[in-house]
Amino acid sequence: MLRTTIAGSLPKPGWLAETEKLWPAWRLEGKALEEAKRDAILAALKMQETAGIDIITDGEMPRQHFVHGFLEKVSGIDFQNRQTIGIRNDRYKAVCPTVTGPIKRAGSVHGEEVRWARANTKNKLKFTLPGPMTIVDTLADDHYKDRGKMAMAFAEALNEEAKDLDAAGVDVIQFDEPAFNVYGDEVAEWGVAALERAAKGLKATTAVHICYGYGIKANTDWKATLGTQWRQYESVFPLLAKSSIQQVSLEAIHSKVPLELIGLLEGKDVLAGAIDVASNTVETPEEVAAAIKAAMKYVAPEKLFPCTNCGMAPMPRDVAAAKLKALAAGAALVRKELGR
């Protein structure tokens, strides 16, 4: 019970890439870069094991950005043809590649990374992929001209990839769908259907992560406009409760999400954020324990997985390491109180 995990990403070491950036440039190239990425995966696994995290990830070390890592080996996308588009309902501008033809996975994208991580930890291993709606929202499109259709094409490519990762022995496959908090109507129309298509037929536990984003200025400015209660989950969770997806990762600590919305996820595993990624202040184990106990009012400890609110990619590395320790220590405190 109360097994700990993280949303996905960890800060990249300074010898691998620029630090504290969302789209960091690599410090190396060619074979040296490939070796450095593998070393960075080892460091990420070790950081989580040392902290005492139960279900760990590769820290998303080999990818420059959580969406575009997958896209780099998908045909139908022109990476030279970059357009500046407004993403997340125009919350911020991003320079994005353009879809110019039918989407097709050109080959294994993350297989080697997963085999490397799997061979180097005995912990349960989670791997994250971008969700179809979030991918669609992070690309310019000159081909499909229909977001739902384009999402389904990506869902099929993601499913091929997920099946490979499944075969490589990953325990949890998580799709990141921050866009679900932005496009409520489209989530109902095609978002959940595309997500289920991406997760179809997997042996691994399936998860979706929905959040209010990294602690970057565009996101904190947006959050300031959302009022005293953030109720975006209210329309999305009932749809997920009816879906085949088994776990839902959500933002909780230091957010304005009313925690009773967790009650809408009946039957699902809940990965509740007990670590704030928008602040460099390290939580105390007691604060983490309080966040866990607040969530436990709405979900049984057997189905609750203390987690981070979101990815930690843009944080200082030592802060992330300290926060992981606080997460594990906080969960241990609650387990002890419960006498287990």
By the criterion CB under 5 A, which residues form the site for Zn ion? Answer: 211, 310
CB-side exposure of 241: number of CA atoms within 13 Å? 13
Question: Min. distance of Cβ 80 from Zn ion in angstroms?
Answer: 29
Residue (273 or 330) nearer to Zn ion, CB: 273
Least spacing, CB of residue 101 vs Zn ion, in Å: 30
* Encoded tokens for 57: 């990830």
Query: CB–CB of 147/136 below 8 Å?
Result: yes
Q: Are 214 and 253 in contact (CB under 8 A)?
A: no
Alpha-carbon span 24 to 12, nearest angstrom: 9
To the nearest whole angstrom, how small is the minimum distance from the Cβ of residue 295 to Zn ion?
17
Residue 11 in tokens: 């800060």
Please report, to the nearest 10 degrees, the dihedral formed by the alpha carbons of residues 161, 167, 169, 173 taken in order.
Answer: 30
8 A C-beta contact, residue 291 and residue 253 = yes
Provide the minimum distance between the beta carbon of 280 and Zn ion in the complex, in angstroms, as a whole number. Answer: 17
Q: Which is nearer to Zn ion, 164 or 269 (CB)?
A: 269
SS3 category, 61: coil
Strands 92-105, 74-87: pairing kind = antiparallel
Tell me how far, at minimum, the Cβ of 267 lies from Zn ion, in Å: 23
The kind and range of the H/E element at 140 are strand 140-141
Question: Please, which residue, 62 or 273, has the CB nearer to Zn ion?
Answer: 273
Query: CB-wise, 9 or 48, nearer to Zn ion?
Result: 9
Using an 8 Å Cβ cutoff, are 45 and 117 in contact?
A: yes
- Residue (28 or 319) nearer to Zn ion, CB: 319
Give the shortest CB-308-to-Zn ion separation in angstroms. Answer: 9
Phi, psi angles (nearest 5°) of residue 326 = -65, -40
**At its nearest, how many Å lie between Zn ion and the CB of residue 46?**
23
Question: Between 64 and 98, whose beta carbon lies closer to Zn ion?
Answer: 64
**Cα-trace Rg, the chain:** 19
Considering beta carbons, is residue 215 or 301 the nearer one to Zn ion? Answer: 215
**In this complex, which beta carbon is closest to Zn ion, that of residue 97 or of residue 130?**
130
Least separation in angstroms between CB 124 and Zn ion? 20
Pairing of strands 55-56, 74-87: unpaired
Pure H helices in the chain: 30-51, 68-71, 111-119, 132-136, 147-167, 184-186, 192-198, 217-223, 233-241, 285-296, 317-337
62 versus 314: smaller Cβ distance to Zn ion: 314
State the nearest-atom distance from the C-beta of 263 to Zn ion, in Å. 22
323 is written with which tokens? 């926060």
13 C-beta neighbours (distance < 10 Å), count: 17
